[in-house]
Chains A and B, each alone.
Chain A
Amino acid sequence: MGRQRLQSFPYWHEVILAAMLAALLVFARSVAPEFLYPGTQAEMSTHIWELALLALPMTLIIITGGIDLSVGSTMAMCAVVLGLSYQAGISPWVGALLAVLTGAAAGAANGVFVARVRVHPLIVTLATLAAYRGVAEGISLAKPVSGFPAGFTVLGLGSVAGVPIPGLIFAVALLAAAVVLGKTTTGRSIYAIGHNELASRFSGISVDRIKLALYTLSGTAAGMAAAVFVARRNTAKADIGQGMELDVITAVVLGGTSIYGGRGRIVGTLLGVLLIHETREFVSWQWSRDELILIVVGALLIVSVLLNTVLSPRRR
């Protein structure tokens, strides 16, 4: 009886993640306490905001049983738009808006193929992964643009009361995502689509509209991430964000979202992002070996999902 209760506890995955995170931080404290200083952590957090921002819409998309492999390439395309518009003399803030709009358009294109033309999202976004990256390289002629004014780079580098500005953007997005997913009918519809798309359609849920919205959202987030990145690194070029999509998917799945759809929570994604971030930073801090980071993150992903299987044996 107690075991059944234990197994039906819905937050197991999040608890395990939190435990792993805690264990890591405790270990870090004993071995390298400077790692945990708030100043250090705030500085290091600048590495993660783009990934965190992208992880939110990705969570929603994966819950519906879809996927978006084109976020890295979309980011590059948006960054290039920002760079070129700045070069043409347009204010970088307007350029950032253009970047976000480009991202939205790119995401909408994905959405149309997935929702209206009904091609499998893996295929669509695999194709746009190549296409968008190519467009970025083509229109920028592979030349980077830099030299953005300090008034703009504050978007990526500045902070308000010690909290980095991108962090504030993320916090707002996080709250919005959590509320939409947890408290609104749209959120419930998203879960429904992931559980059984056909039934959802018959129940009157506007599946196509929701899917289109989600992919557009993902593209928009990519545009925002591009603006933050360009501001932070003071460079707009076509080869940024390579491999970003895999990192984002890793974080989301680590956070407990099922790749088959129907299951997942924003708080899980948050924990997943945190765990990956702290793991990467700590391994880099302590051992300074780039190849080690790859091994640890990959193993972390597999082990966490494996643990999930062990602890909830009947679920798929």
Chain B
Amino acid sequence: MSKKRAATKHGAGLGIGQMLGRLARQREYGMLALLALTVAAVQSINHSFLAAGNLSDMLVQCAPAAIVACGMTFIIVMGEIDISVGSMMGLLAAVVGVLVSKHHYGMSVDLSVLLTLLLGGCLGFINGLLVTVGRVPSIIVTLGMLTVLRGVTEMVLGGEWVTDLPHGLRFLGTGSLAGVPICLIVAAVVAVASIVVATQTPLGRRIYAVGSNPDAARIAGLHETRLKTLVFTLTGFLVAVATVVSVPQLSVIESGIGSGFELLVVTCVVVGGTSIKGGKGTIVGSLLGVLLLGTVRTDLIFLRLGEMSTYWERAIQGAFILAAVLVDHLVRRRGTVEAEA
């Protein structure tokens, strides 16, 4: 009632205050605010936080999660999940290392990277196939894959690490083009492409349609099987991309790579506003989630909380996630209630 009065008072359809309020409730802006707040807080305590080198390093750290989060967003929007991405990354890292190393196959960097990308796509495809045609729930498929691939990685590496990575491969991880690290360029390309697909293309609309109402989508003639398989294959491919631009940052490829990565990515996507039930979620939100969660550890180091803080790091991370989830939930509920008024 009072809102209507405000509306007529201003003459336009909506009062400015109301519009700002609605904007504030938009998930992404809330997250942006939280991110800005965190950065400001840390910067005020330790002034070297926002130094150019540090910013670049933090973004580089977030790059692999950002790349995979794009694919994961599509998967979760469709009502599925993929918790095998960490083990996939481990296996793909081992494969690219073994292919390129002179002790084993000594292939050229280009060929090795190509094969790795292809392998990533295949792994994703197998996941998708098992989910759609095999009708195995995605959490089961990817849970099984997570275990299997970890074992296969150990077998591929056979108890040794790959230490003779050629310069060409290392360049993907450490090099830059026009001053921007390669992994950031790739992450930006993937992000922009994903945003475009999600918001502007019919494919994106179909993905969201299947996610929000699978039965209606089926009746409307959308191929759930094809779409889901595509999305899983895409994610597998993206994991390979993330592997190839982030793993060569280090000079050694070892067997523990990617451990726990799936948890990080899923948490980022969920905290970013993608609903686990499907149908809702944005790439931008997921990317903001990556930025928020990916920098917690750095934040803690910069806050210089002393020796004790090491032990409470994970608790703080967990509390952060809990808070983000709660805030989102409460805001969303209030939002829907008001919208109905």
Contact = CB atoms under 8 A, between A and B. Distances in A.
Interface of A: 117-120, 122-124, 126-135, 137-138, 140-142, 246, 249-250, 253, 258-260, 290-295, 297-302, 305-306, 309, 316
A131 B321 contact: yes
Given A123-B325, A126-B270, A302-B141, 8 more contacts: A119-B325, A137-B314, A141-B311, A294-B148, A294-B150, A294-B151, A294-B154, A306-B130
16 contacts: A123-B276, A124-B325, A126-B263, A126-B266, A130-B263, A134-B312, A135-B318, A137-B313, A138-B311, A138-B312, A138-B315, A250-B143, A302-B136, A305-B137, A306-B130, A309-B134
B140 A302 contact: yes
Nearest to B145: A298
B301 interface: no
Contacts of B19: none
Given A137-B311, A298-B148, A309 B136 contact: yes
Interface residues of B, number: 42
A301 B276 contact: no
A130 B321 contact: yes
Contacts of B318: 127-135
B257 to A, nearest CB: 15
B54 interface: no
Interface of B: 130, 134-137, 139-141, 143-152, 154-155, 263, 266-267, 270, 275-277, 308, 311-319, 321-322, 325-326, 329
Contacts of A290: 154
B151 A292 contact: yes
Contacts of B326: 117, 119
Contact of B151 (A127, A133, A293, A301): A293
Given A127-B325, A306-B134, A134 B314 contact: yes
Given A128-B322, A306-B136, A246 B143 contact: yes
A250 B321 CA distance: 25
Contact of B137 (A130, A259, A300): A259
B79 to A, nearest CB: 11
B232 to A, nearest CB: 14
Q: Which 5 A-B pairs have the closest CB atoms?
A: A134-B315, A131-B318, A294-B151, A298-B147, A130-B318
Contacts of B134: 305-306, 309
The listed residue with most A CB atoms (<10 A of its CB), out of B144, B146, B275, is B144
Contact of A298 (B144, B314, B321): B144
Nearest to B313: A134
A60 B135 CA distance: 23
Contacts of A124: 325
Contacts of A291: 150-152, 154-155
Nearest to B153: A291
B314 A130 contact: yes
Contacts of B147: 246, 250, 294-295, 297-298, 301
Nearest to B81: A122
Given A117-B329, A293-B151, A302-B130, A126 B136 contact: no
Contacts of A297: 147
A159 B155 CA distance: 39
A297 B136 CA distance: 16
Contact of A295 (B141, B148, B266, B308): B148
Contacts of A141: 308, 311
The listed residue with most B CB atoms (<10 A of its CB), out of A128, A140, A298, A301, is A298
Nearest to A250: B143
Contacts of B151: 291-295, 298
B276 A299 contact: no
A118 B316 CA distance: 23
Given A293-B151, A295-B148, A260 B137 contact: yes
A127 B148 contact: no
A273 B321 CA distance: 32
